[in-house]
């Protein structure tokens, strides 16, 4: 198709936006392994999960068979305020790279949270409200999820308690103020406000916290306070389900112009944006209708897919959450302090882990200096200041496009541009000052945390 025919931005009308989420698990032969009770080592029942999560979200979490789940009107109407998100043809980047490849990116940064996380936050807040709850608790690392949830809770009039990893709380005061503006209360984690926080502080005085610690604290507060539940912004099946709007919109936009991608690329932290972007493409692949190369990109300093173990593990440091079977570096793994690029969770979505295990997708890891090089190149050509997380996908999209330049192949590449980097300027500063370094954990380091995986028979 000629350059004139495909516009720079492919938008959809409101009517073309998805009316149902697509549940990838329905088309998987090997279903993701169930969440397991850490005490009894039996699959978590709906009743057990219901003590932590909202009832309707528990149903979505456990539903491995319904392919399409209708998006309630209230959520669809909220989506209409900031969606559909554009699918952009990166003509300028193609030109700069002198590649015959055709590059598209789905841009999710056009909302105040600055990322795709709002797609699930608004759904989770809706179901909490519908259940008549007072509020929700959560953790946030870099702050995108906390911000997205604060926005969603403000919209539905729910209380929102956010445990923010201490190092981010201190380094990103502006992110904190955005959340407070939307009415959330933000506590640096680990804190003295929870039993598990006190315990972690006693064992590791002066710790700057981790996502795993913050999850433990948020879950404790949800379980102890009537009318509260815990919500999570990634990893879970329900989150991948909500994020399928990204892939469904992208596929509809591509179909409008008869474009079939060869390669779909996304960054992977807990797997939600990637799971959402690839959902309809992976569905076709699972049903044998089409084939795509699907690539997960992770940081070399937190390489769950590429160097982790496929096993049941804790999702949190306090070991109070259900066990999930996933590619994991061990719940005690904490990425090196010089790692600035996000995507620092030790595990991975159970759905994506199963698909990777079964050979339906590839994974690769990249070092942060090369990620920021790609971010800089992208910003200077395409104009958008990308989030460091998103820039992992940019790195590999550029690398694939450069391979096409060598071989002369006109491949079509689609990648997820999950968000903007306005709150990541400390990381950009390090890069601009030439002070960014790469750290790759040793085999011994990974083996030491993997050795602490729970023993399941």
Binding positions for ligand PLP, rule: CB under 6 A: 115, 117, 144, 234, 267-274, 343, 387, 389-390, 418-419
Minimum Å gap between C-beta 254 and ligand PLP is: 21
Closest to ligand PLP by CB, 97 or 211: 211
Minimum Å gap between C-beta 42 and ligand PLP is: 27
The number of CA neighbours under 13 Å toward the Cβ of 353 is 28
Closest to ligand PLP by CB, 115 or 449: 115
Minimum Å gap between C-beta 409 and ligand PLP is: 28
With CA atoms as reference, report the closest residue to 415 among 382, 439, 442: 382
Closest to ligand PLP by CB, 52 or 343: 343
Task: Enumerate residues 6+ apart whose C-beta is below 8 A from 434.
Answer: none
Question: Coil, strand, or helix at residue 187?
Answer: strand
Minimum Å gap between C-beta 245 and ligand PLP is: 13
Closest to ligand PLP by CB, 61 or 389: 389
Sheet with 412-417, side-by-side order of all strands:
9-10, 87-89, 102-107, 412-417, 263-267, 293-299, 362-366
- Contact (CB, 8 A) for 72 and 51: no
Task: Enumerate residues 6+ apart whose C-beta is below 8 A from 230.
Answer: 52, 53, 136, 137, 138, 218, 219, 222, 223
Minimum Å gap between C-beta 141 and ligand PLP is: 8
Q: Which residues pair with 329 in a beta bridge?
A: none
Q: What's the rounded Cα separation, in Å, for the pair 427 and 172?
A: 11
Q: What's the rounded Cα separation, in Å, for the pair 204 and 190?
A: 10
- Tracing tokens 């996304």 back to the chain, one arrives at 266
Closest to ligand PLP by CB, 241 or 387: 387
Closest to ligand PLP by CB, 218 or 259: 218
Closest to ligand PLP by CB, 88 or 387: 387
Minimum Å gap between C-beta 203 and ligand PLP is: 28
The number of CA neighbours under 13 Å toward the Cβ of 248 is 22
Closest to ligand PLP by CB, 102 or 344: 344
Q: What's the rounded Cα separation, in Å, for the pair 279 and 120?
A: 15
Q: What's the rounded Cα separation, in Å, for the pair 153 and 161?
A: 10
Residue nearest to ligand PLP (CB): 419
Closest to ligand PLP by CB, 145 or 292: 145
List the structure tokens of 5.
Answer: 């025919």
Q: What's the rounded Cα separation, in Å, for the pair 189 and 166?
A: 5
Minimum Å gap between C-beta 387 and ligand PLP is: 4
Helices (H) and strands (E) in the chain, counts: 18, 15
Rounded to 5°, the CA angle 418-64-283 comes to 55
Q: Is residue 221 exposed (0-12), middle (13-18) or buried (19+ Cβ within 10 Å)?
A: buried
Closest to ligand PLP by CB, 94 or 139: 139
Q: Which residues pair with 136 in a beta bridge?
A: 160, 229
| Length of the chain (residues) | 457
Minimum Å gap between C-beta 39 and ligand PLP is: 27
Question: Coil, strand, or helix at residue 364?
Answer: strand
Minimum Å gap between C-beta 397 and ligand PLP is: 14
Minimum Å gap between C-beta 233 and ligand PLP is: 7
């Amino acid at each position: 198709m000629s350059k004139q025919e495909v516009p720079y931005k492919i938008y959809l009308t409101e009517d073309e936006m998805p009316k149902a989420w697509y549940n990838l698990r329905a088309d998987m032969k090997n279903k993701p392994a169930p969440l397991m009770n850490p005490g009894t080592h039996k699959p978590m029942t709906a009743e057990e999960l219901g003590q932590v999560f909202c009832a309707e979200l528990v149903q979505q979490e456990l539903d491995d068979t319904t392919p399409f789940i209708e998006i309630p009107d209230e959520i669809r109407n909220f989506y209409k305020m900031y969606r559909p998100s554009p699918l952009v043809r990166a003509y300028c980047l193609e030109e700069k790279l002198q590649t015959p490849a055709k590059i598209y990116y789905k841009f999710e940064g056009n909302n105040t949270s600055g990322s795709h996380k709002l797609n699930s936050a608004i759904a989770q807040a809706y179901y909490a409200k519908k259940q008549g709850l007072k509020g929700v608790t959560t953790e946030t690392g870099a702050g995108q999820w906390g911000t997205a949830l604060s926005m969603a809770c403000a919209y539905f009039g729910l209380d929102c308690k956010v445990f923010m990893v201490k190092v981010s709380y201190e380094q990103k005061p502006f992110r904190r103020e955005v959340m407070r503006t939307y009415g959330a209360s933000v506590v640096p984690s680990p804190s003295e406000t929870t039993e598990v926080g006190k315990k972690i502080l006693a064992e590791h005085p002066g710790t700057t916290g981790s996502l795993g610690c913050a999850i433990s604290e948020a879950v404790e507060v949800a379980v102890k306070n009537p009318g509260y539940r815990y919500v999570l912004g990634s990893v879970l099946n329900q989150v991948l389900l909500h994020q399928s709007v990204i892939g469904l919109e992208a596929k509809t936009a591509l179909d409008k112009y008869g474009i079939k991608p060869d390669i779909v690329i996304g960054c992977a932290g807990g797997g939600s944006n990637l799971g959402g972007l690839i959902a309809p493409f992976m569905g076709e692949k699972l049903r044998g209708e089409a084939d795509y190369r699907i690539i997960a990109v992770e940081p070399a300093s937190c390489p769950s897919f590429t160097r982790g173990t496929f096993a049941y593990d804790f999702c949190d440091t306090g070991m109070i959450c259900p066990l999930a079977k996933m590619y994991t570096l061990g719940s005690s793994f904490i990425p090196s302090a010089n790692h600035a690029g996000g995507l620092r969770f030790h595990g991975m979505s159970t759905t994506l882990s199963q698909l990777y295990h079964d050979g339906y997708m590839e994974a690769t890891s990249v070092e942060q200096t090369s990620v920021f090089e790609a971010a800089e190149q992208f910003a200077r050509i395409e104009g958008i200041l990308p989030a460091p997380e998103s820039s992992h996908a940019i790195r590999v999209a550029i690398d694939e496009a450069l391979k096409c330049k060598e071989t002369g192949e006109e491949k079509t590449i689609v990648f997820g541009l999950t968000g903007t980097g306005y709150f990541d300027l400390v990381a950009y500063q390090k890069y601009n000052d030439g002070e960014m370094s790469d750290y790759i954990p040793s085999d011994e380091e990974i083996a030491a945390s993997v050795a602490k995986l729970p023993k399941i028979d």
